[in-house]
Amino acid sequence: MVTADWIYLVPLFPLMAFVANLLWGARFLKNKAAWVSIAASVAACAVALPICVKVFGGARFSNEFVWLTIGSGTLRFGYLVDPLSASLLSMVTIVGTLIQIYAAGYMAGDPRFSRFFAYVSLFMFAMLTLTIANNFILFFMAWEIMGLCSYLLIGFYFEKTSAAKAGFKAFLTTRVGDVGFLIGMLTLFVTLGTLDFSEINSLLTGTSQARLGMNTGLLAMSALCIFCGTIGKSAQFPLHVWLPDAMEGPTPVSALIHAATMVAAGVFLIARSFVIFMAVPGTMPVVTTIGCVTAFMAAFIALTQTDIKRILAYSTISQLGYMVTALGMQGLGAGTFHLITHAFFKALLFLAAGSVIHGTHVQDIRQMGGLFKKMPHTALTFIIASLALAGVPPLSGFWSKDEILLTAFASGHSLVFWTLLLTAFMTAFYMFRLVFMTFFGKARDPKVHAHESPALMTLPLWALAVGAILLGIPGSPMTHHWFQRFLAHAIHHPEYHPSTFVMTCSVVAAISGIALAGIIYLKNIHRAEAIAKTFRPLYQLSFNKFYFDEIYSRYIIRPFNAVGAIFFKFDVSIIDGAVNGAGTGSLWIGAVKNWIDQHIVDGLVNFMGTFTRLLNSIVKRLQTGFVQNYLLIAFLSFLVFIIWELKLI
Amino acid sequence: MSSHLLSWIVFTPLLGAFILLCVPKRAAHLIRWIALGTTALTAVLVCLAFPVFRASEPGFQLVERVMWIPQFGVQYLLGVDGISFPMIVLTALISLMACLGSLTHIRVKGGREKEYYFLFLLLETGMMGTFLALDLFLFYIFWEVVLVPMYFLIGIWGGPRKEYAAIKFFLYTLAGSLFMLLGILAVYFAAPTHTFDMTVLANVKFGLLFQKIVFLAFFLGFAIKVPIFPFHTWLPDAHVEAPTPISVILAGVLLKMGTYGFLRFSYPLFPEAAHWFQPAMGILAVIGIIYGGFIALAQTDFKKMVAYSSVSHMGFVLLGLAALNADGFRGALLQMFNHGTITGGLFLLVGVLYDRAHTRELNAFGGLGATMPVYAGILTFFSLASLGLPGLSGFVSEFLTLLGSYQYSKLITGLAAIGILLAAAYLLYMIHRVLLGNLNPKWAKLPDITALELSTLVPLMIFILGIGLYPKIILNYMIPTLDALLIAIKI
Amino acid sequence: MNLIPLSHILIFSLALFGIGIYGVLTRRNIIGILISIELILNAANINLIAFSQTTSLSPETGQVFALFVIAIAAITAAVGLAIVLALYRARKTVFADEVHLLKW
Amino acid sequence: MDFLQLAVKTGIYALMAGTLVFALGVVTLKNLFHAALSLAAVLIGTAALYLAFHAEFMAAVQILLYVGAVITVIIFAVMLTEHIAERSILQHNKQSLPALLGVLALLVLIGKVLLKTPWPVNPSTLDARVSVSDLGVALMGTYVFPFEVISILLIGALIGAVVIARKGSHP
């Protein structure tokens, strides 16, 4: 029977797969590498799901061992399976397995096939560790390893300069957030003396909170710093720029890491440290604002993009913004719920898009069109997922998005509510712009010869589609928000009664968005250009992604490099130059030094030289070179010495 | 034998060096084997110390005490504790790896192997002695013994500007150690019983002004070795010009001698001065971290980049020392060990590439990940360890250091965190330029890493991974001593 | 031996020594210098033997040391003359003041 | 004091005086060959003096080693470099005067000290005869270590002399 301690095995299976694929993949496993990884995932599923079922039944597990001694205390590593981690755990194992099965088909024939699965297994290991981690350090370690995997997988086709650059950018950008996260952890540790989730929970909820009254400043700082981690990892404004570029990676990676799991980990982080945010309510508006801005901005950018994966990437950013907004309004249940449903339909969207790319070998939607007939499975599943994302009832996306809108509406954030509603409208519009341009109409590019993907790829699509359709049920009013109440076991947060007004608004926004997209893109494609011309500044802003990359490159990256170059110059010319006494310094220091050298230092040196030579010209007379002369001097000196010593005179 | 284990550890390399002198020059094979055997034997001796060394006890163990120059109270006094024990393990490990690395490298460099290995073994004796000596006079002697072979090793087997680099290194360090000598003499004459004995001197209370002055004298000696900004400019030159194995030793062990000096001598002898200098050291540490990081970012020479990253990483050690608390000290000592393994490995990797391509220009490479996959993997591994990826050893020490310094000053910690960011930037940028992107056709035929080169790297990787996953294995050796030190210097 | 006071013999050896010193200092020819050195050694030998007869040490001590001095004198002669020959061959001179490589 | 004793005493003083004269010849004679010969005379005189001290073995060694070997070597050297040792060439350098003054000062100084010092005379050893076997025992017993060192030195010098003087080692 599966006991709780077996959960150690859950991350270990992928780790073993990683080691196996890394060491023997290229030489022995070759095409079987995929099956090693998939088997590991399935095994992890087999262990994790029974435990999750127990947790859904109300159980809660934790265990730990001492990892490191800090100061007077200790850091204990272990697992913590509570409702939050159980829901994420089940999602990650299922989605992860399905995506790996898909990848086995998608990546077939790649020269670094085994390497790909090694990385994916390492990622699975890190993600699973993260979900069951019981403290911030372990969480952070897994978090960073995920970042590494993301880096490696984005740059998987590293011969392509753009891919290598994208990986670099992704790692560095998230690292900015991670440094904030690290400082947040340090602050937290100094403030509370522990990094254990359960201990933090018990410290910050209940009676002891009064004792910590004086620490709220530090606590707020730690909460905001930890939120930096989310901003980086979940691609929130202003660190969202890496995610669209991350689409350089293979599509299954985009689905797994950059849609379903890793980017969601940032949201999970807020959920994990929810009590900290709750303890200092002043931090919540910051979270809401960031989330809301991100949601709207990303959706706005997605309106005009033409790369199929980039549209999805911006859509991901937008949806993550949704979740963050929800959490910022204390909607833990709503945010997490959207996290789970989004993972399914967004993974499905990416996989289907991958299938399209696999079949057509192009990524630009302007070159596609009329693919519905040629790849029906792909098209159907894609449309299902799009409907879910747009928020059409009764698909899962509707229920979870509705929860978030409800939270915004009921908690009185009306500005947030209307922004989110507008975003929902835009979401429906750009998704169906994508659908219509890809699957309907006429084929626009005669060079594209599309074909349906193999069953190995379409089967996971359908499996995910089932999830995308049904997963809304547990959180819907039909089950009386079972999921939210299940999560609320852990943390108390407000509950709201379902509102017909909100639902109506949501449905209207979705339907009108779809309809508008249909009018513009299904009937007359030229109308789009006309609209773009009418709203030229807005169009430019959206098309150029608010110029974020340009701004960052000009005002952050270039100054950084310049500072490096200046420091180096400083080092070589001034510090080193001062050391060497060489006049390679920058101009004025060089000039000053030069003057000093010539007039004072050199003068002194020259004087010393002259003086020495003067002495020398006298003393050198003694150096005749005749041995006997020396002897005579020695002898006479000896005599003088004797006379002196014997006091004879 | 175990009764004089420390003496054996110190003088086995010297013995090997003298055996080498008796071997004819032409027997190159024999010379190599003797050198390798001697370093391996030293490593074995260090391993023998593991069962004898009681990790849970603070204070010096395996002490050997013989009166050497009775007129001046100079003793031959060796001892090991939780601070020096990791250091001698590191020295043995790095020396062995560097010796393995020398096998091919020096042969390529055009011979004179007998002299090379003689100096190499002499260097090892000096390093071991520095870490084990408890008598200030003896310490100074070993400190200088390290200097001389290093000078020749850089000056003879170095790169194009080797003479310049060697002289610079020598003068710099000599200047520092002169100040240290003055400090040692000052302590000697100020102590009520004229003695160089650390164990006695640690109990002596000096006046605050005296402490400040002598602390500063010691500081100069140690700071140049670490090196601390602005005394660091010898480092890039020495590193770039030195042959690979010597760079490895330079980064792996020699830099640690400076920070070790702080822990061993400066802090126990002058606790009040240590507190007085705390802000200055913290600020210097942060300057070093950021400054080194920025300059590393601007480098186009592979080795120079690693050298400047050393400046940045040793800044973390200093930061931990400046924190003057348990976490900071643990982080610093652990970082000393980790930096030794990680940067040592990076230098070995630079050497591997240089031996093949005969250039270190980063921009000249590109796309090597396709032709040298194993090398690419290992280089990535070491870079990640260096940038502090959790799960590898660099993270643990940086985390502890920051945790310690955070309790001292938030501002300084915040600034130091920029250093982490910079580390990620310059290391990834390096990987980007060397391994990724388009393959330069010039390097299409480069062979992948050989088994011998692999054997120098794999042990380091085991240490990095082991410490990263379960740091208690090494921290257990350090903690009792560091805690005792912390109590002793509390004011 | 009891015929002559010890001091007279010492004066004699001193004179011999002085003459030797004079020779070492003034002879140009290196062979001449060597010869003068032999004089000095001889003076020392005389002292040794004279003392051995009169002081409280066992009488053979002085003679043994005199023997050693003679041996060393022989060595000096052999090596010195070898050097002279080598020098002569190399520089075609045997004069000390013509060999002044050390001169400024 | 009988006549014989007086005669012997006079003889010894005469011997000493003669030896000094020859010694002067050693350092002053222009012809190096003659100087070498006077050195031989000095050495023989010294040997005779040894006889007066009852050091017969030493006298024998002096004659054999010095006069027999060393002088021979010196004369060889002189003859090998002879054409330079001509009369016409100045045989003394320019520092004769300071040297002479110095030597005289030395003589006066040390002489004064010598005469002032009350030399202890041990009556028991005054007439002791040292036999050759005594010497041998001392050499092989008490002084065996210096003896061995001297022998090593001799070997070294021998080899060294051969190496230095070997033709061809210097072009």
pLDDT in tens, A441-463: 777 777 777 777 788 888 888 88
CB A522 within 8 Å of CB A436: yes
Q: Is residue B364 part of a domain?
A: yes
Residue D30: CB atoms within 10 A of its CB come to 14
Query: Is the pLDDT assigned to residue D2 strictly greater than 60?
Result: yes
Same domain, D3 and D80: yes
**Amino acid in the structure at residue C11:** I
Nearest beta carbon to residue B294 from set A67, A175, A567: A567
| Count of domains observed in chain D | 2
A111 burial via Cβ count (<10 Å: 0-12, 13-18, 19+)? exposed
Q: Does A134 touch chain B (CB under 8 A)?
A: no
Mean pLDDT of A596-615: 71
pLDDT tens for B45-73 read: 999 888 888 888 888 888 888 888 888 88
**Amino acid in the structure at residue D121:** V
Query: Is the pLDDT assigned to residue B42 strictly greater than 90?
Result: yes
Mean pLDDT of A245-271: 85
Residue B80 in 3-state DSSP? strand
Q: What whole-number percentage of chain B has pLDDT above 90?
A: 19
- Cα(C60)–Cα(C49) distance, integer angstroms: 9
- Listed ranges A121-130, A367-376, D123-132; the one with the highest mean pLDDT: A121-130
Q: Does A72 touch chain B (CB under 8 A)?
A: yes
CA angle (A455 as vertex; A451, A456 as ends), nearest 5 = 115
What is the C-alpha radius of gyration for chain B, rounded to an integer number of angstroms?
21
pLDDT tens for A387-406 read: 888 888 778 888 888 888 88
List alpha helices for B299-392, DSSP H.
302-323, 326-357, 368-371, 373-386
Spell out which residues of chain B touch residue A190, defining contact as CB-CB under 8 Å.
Answer: 403, 406-407
CA distances from A125 to A87, B411, D141 (A): 17, 35, 86
Neighbours of chain B (3+ CB pairs under 8 A): A
Sequence spans of domains, chain C = 6-98
Please report which confidence band the pLDDT of residue A2 belongs to, taking 50, 70 and 90 as the band edges. Answer: low
pLDDT tens for A79-95 read: 888 888 888 888 888 88
Residue B146: CB atoms within 10 A of its CB come to 25
- Cα(B297)–Cα(A211) distance, integer angstroms: 46
Task: For domain C6-98, say whether CATH 1.10.287.3510 is its number.
Answer: yes
Q: Does A642 touch chain D (CB under 8 A)?
A: yes
Mean pLDDT of C7-29: 90
Least confident of A152-166, A311-325, A472-486, B95-109: A472-486
CA angle (B39 as vertex; B37, B44 as ends), nearest 5 = 90
| Count of domains observed in chain B | 1
**Amino acid in the structure at residue A73:** G
Whether the bond into A393 is cis, omega within 30 of 0: no
Residue A500: CB atoms within 10 A of its CB come to 7
- Cα(A257)–Cα(A96) distance, integer angstroms: 9
Q: Does A623 touch chain C (CB under 8 A)?
A: yes
pLDDT at C12: 92
Report the largest interatomic distance among the alpha carbons of chain B, rounded to a whole angstrom. Answer: 71
Q: Is residue D97 part of a domain?
A: no
Is the torsion defined by CA of B217, B222, B227, B229 positive or negative? negative
pLDDT at B140: 92
Please report which confidence band the pLDDT of residue B111 belongs to, taking 50, 70 and 90 as the band edges. Answer: low
pLDDT at B407: 86
Give the DSSP H or E segment for B61: strand B61-69
pLDDT at A602: 63
Query: Is the pLDDT assigned to residue B40 strictly greater than 90?
Result: yes
CB C7 within 8 Å of CB D114: yes
The pair of structure tokens assigned to A223 is 């909460």
pLDDT at A566: 80
Mean pLDDT of A52-76: 76
The pair of structure tokens assigned to C23 is 């020779």
What 8-state DSSP symbol labels residue A206? S
Same domain, D63 and D143: no
Q: Is residue D109 part of a domain?
A: no
Q: Which residues, at least 6 apart from D57, have a Cβ–Cβ distance to it below 8 Å?
A: C63, D130, D132, D135
In 3D, which of A264, A252, A38 has the Cα closest to residue A130?
A: A264
Find the CATH number of the domain harbouring D1: 1.20.120.1200
B-chain residue closest to A152, CA distance: B380
Q: Is residue B331 part of a domain?
A: yes
Q: What whole-number percentage of chain A has pLDDT above 70?
A: 89
Q: Which residue has the higher pLDDT, A211 or A480?
A: A480
Query: Is the pLDDT assigned to residue C16 strictly greater than 90?
Result: yes
Q: Which residues, at least 6 apart from A49, have a Cβ–Cβ distance to it below 8 Å?
A: A90, A93
Give the DSSP H or E segment for B77: strand B74-80
Q: Which residues, at least 6 apart from A131, have a Cβ–Cβ distance to it below 8 Å?
A: A85, A88, A89, A92, A268
Please report which confidence band the pLDDT of residue B1 belongs to, taking 50, 70 and 90 as the band edges. Answer: very low
B348 burial via Cβ count (<10 Å: 0-12, 13-18, 19+)? buried
What is the C-alpha radius of gyration for chain C, rounded to an integer number of angstroms?
17
Q: Is residue B310 part of a domain?
A: yes
**Strand duo B61-69 + A73-81: pairing:** unpaired
Please report which confidence band the pLDDT of residue B382 belongs to, taking 50, 70 and 90 as the band edges. Answer: very high
Q: Which residue has the higher pLDDT, B40 or A487?
A: B40
What's the whole-number average pLDDT of chain B?
Answer: 87
Query: Is the pLDDT assigned to residue A649 strictly greater than 60?
Result: no
- Listed ranges A54-63, A566-575, B111-120; the one with the highest mean pLDDT: B111-120
The pair of structure tokens assigned to B385 is 């360890």
Q: Which residues, at least 6 apart from A418, have a Cβ–Cβ distance to it below 8 Å?
A: none
- Cα(A606)–Cα(A614) distance, integer angstroms: 12
Cross-chain residue pair A620–C104, CB shorter than 8 Å: yes
Same domain, D10 and D78: yes
CB B387 within 8 Å of CB B335: no
CA angle (C92 as vertex; C86, C97 as ends), nearest 5 = 95
Query: Is the pLDDT assigned to residue D96 strictly greater than 50?
Result: yes
Angle A455-470/A332-360 helices, nearest 10 degrees?
160
Mean pLDDT of D109-114: 86
Residue A392 in 3-state DSSP? coil
Spell out which residues of chain A touch residue B470, defining contact as CB-CB under 8 Å.
Answer: 67
What 8-state DSSP symbol labels residue B58? -
pLDDT at C40: 92
Nearest beta carbon to residue A626 from set C24, C96, C104: C96
CA distance D24 to chain A (A): 19
CA distance D110 to chain A (A): 9
Give the DSSP H or E segment for B232: none
CB B360 within 8 Å of CB B436: no
Q: Which residues, at least 6 apart from C59, have a Cβ–Cβ distance to it below 8 Å?
A: C52, C53, D125, D128, D130, D134
Cross-chain residue pair A646–D109, CB shorter than 8 Å: yes
C-side interface with A, Cβ within 8 Å? 21, 24-27, 33, 96-97, 99-104
Count the residues in chain B: 491
The pair of structure tokens assigned to B485 is 């030190």
pLDDT at A585: 41
Residue B471 in 3-state DSSP? coil
Same domain, D8 and D80: yes
Spell out which residues of chain B touch residue A182, defining contact as CB-CB under 8 Å.
Answer: 399, 402, 417, 420
Query: Is the pLDDT assigned to residue A490 strictly greater than 60?
Result: no
pLDDT at A596: 66
D163 is in which domain, residue-wise? 131-171
CB A556 within 8 Å of CB B218: no
Q: Is residue B259 part of a domain?
A: no
Residue A70 in 3-state DSSP? strand
pLDDT at A164: 84
Same domain, D18 and D87: yes
Q: Is residue B323 part of a domain?
A: yes
What's the whole-number average pLDDT of chain A?
Answer: 81
Count the residues in chain D: 171
Please report which confidence band the pLDDT of residue C82 belongs to, taking 50, 70 and 90 as the band edges. Answer: confident
Please report which confidence band the pLDDT of residue A78 belongs to, taking 50, 70 and 90 as the band edges. Answer: confident
Query: Is the pLDDT assigned to residue A594 strictly greater than 70?
Result: no
Query: Is the pLDDT assigned to residue A584 strictly greater than 80?
Result: no
Which residues numbered 47-86 in D keep a CB inside 8 Å of some CB on C? 49-50, 52-55, 57-58, 61-62, 65-66, 69-70, 73-74, 76-78, 80-81, 84-85
Least confident of A78-82, A589-593, B199-203, B245-249: A589-593
Spell out which residues of chain C touch residue A623, defining contact as CB-CB under 8 Å.
Answer: 102-104
Angle B326-357/B472-488 helices, nearest 10 degrees?
130
CB B385 within 8 Å of CB B452: no
Spell out which residues of chain D touch residue C84, defining contact as CB-CB under 8 Å.
Answer: 77, 81
pLDDT tens for D5-30 read: 888 888 888 999 999 999 998 888 88
In the beta sheet, which residues pair with residue A135?
A196
Mean pLDDT of B104-109: 67
Q: What whole-number percentage of chain B has pLDDT above 70?
A: 98
- Cα(B94)–Cα(C7) distance, integer angstroms: 73
Q: Is residue B288 part of a domain?
A: yes
Least confident of A373-382, A561-570, A615-624: A615-624
pLDDT at B110: 59
CB D66 within 8 Å of CB D48: no
Mean pLDDT of A135-159: 87
CB B340 within 8 Å of CB B249: no
Mean pLDDT of B159-183: 84
Q: Is residue B83 part of a domain?
A: no
Whether the bond into A460 is cis, omega within 30 of 0: no
Domain boundary among D92, D117, D147: D92
Count the residues in chain A: 649
Cross-chain residue pair D109–A642, CB shorter than 8 Å: yes
In 3D, which of A322, A317, A297, A318 has the Cα closest to residue A546?
A: A297
Task: Please state the ipTM of this predicted complex.
Answer: 0.63
pLDDT at D170: 47
Please report which confidence band the pLDDT of residue B205 belongs to, taking 50, 70 and 90 as the band edges. Answer: confident
In 3D, which of B208, B395, B182, B226 has the Cα closest to residue B321?
A: B226
pLDDT at C15: 93
Our answer on whether C and B touch (3+ beta-carbon pairs < 8 Å) is no
Please report which confidence band the pLDDT of residue B130 belongs to, taking 50, 70 and 90 as the band edges. Answer: very high
Query: Is the pLDDT assigned to residue A62 strictly greater than 50?
Result: yes
- Cα(B313)–Cα(B386) distance, integer angstroms: 8
**Amino acid in the structure at residue B85:** F
pLDDT at B462: 92
Domain boundary among D62, D92, D122: D92
**Strand duo B74-80 + B61-69: pairing:** antiparallel
Same domain, D87 and D154: no
Query: Which pTM was predicted?
Result: 0.74
Residue A67 in 3-state DSSP? strand
Q: Does A579 touch chain B (CB under 8 A)?
A: yes
Query: Is the pLDDT assigned to residue B125 strictly greater than 90?
Result: yes
Same domain, D84 and D138: no
Q: Is residue D157 part of a domain?
A: yes
List alpha helices for A493-623, DSSP H.
500-517, 526-534, 536-543, 548-552, 558-569, 576-580, 587-595, 602-619
pLDDT at D171: 42
Q: Half-sphere exposure of A481 toward its Cβ, with a 13 Å CA cutoff?
A: 22
Mean pLDDT of A251-267: 85
In 3D, which of D66, D64, D106, A638 has the Cα closest to residue C38?
A: D66
Give the DSSP H or E segment for B64: strand B61-69
Q: What whole-number percentage of chain A has pLDDT above 90?
A: 0
Query: Is the pLDDT assigned to residue A104 strictly greater than 80?
Result: yes
Q: Is residue B292 part of a domain?
A: yes
State the best of A632, A638, A641, A645 to mutate against chain D, taking most chain D CBs within 10 Å.
A632
- Cα(A302)–Cα(A299) distance, integer angstroms: 5
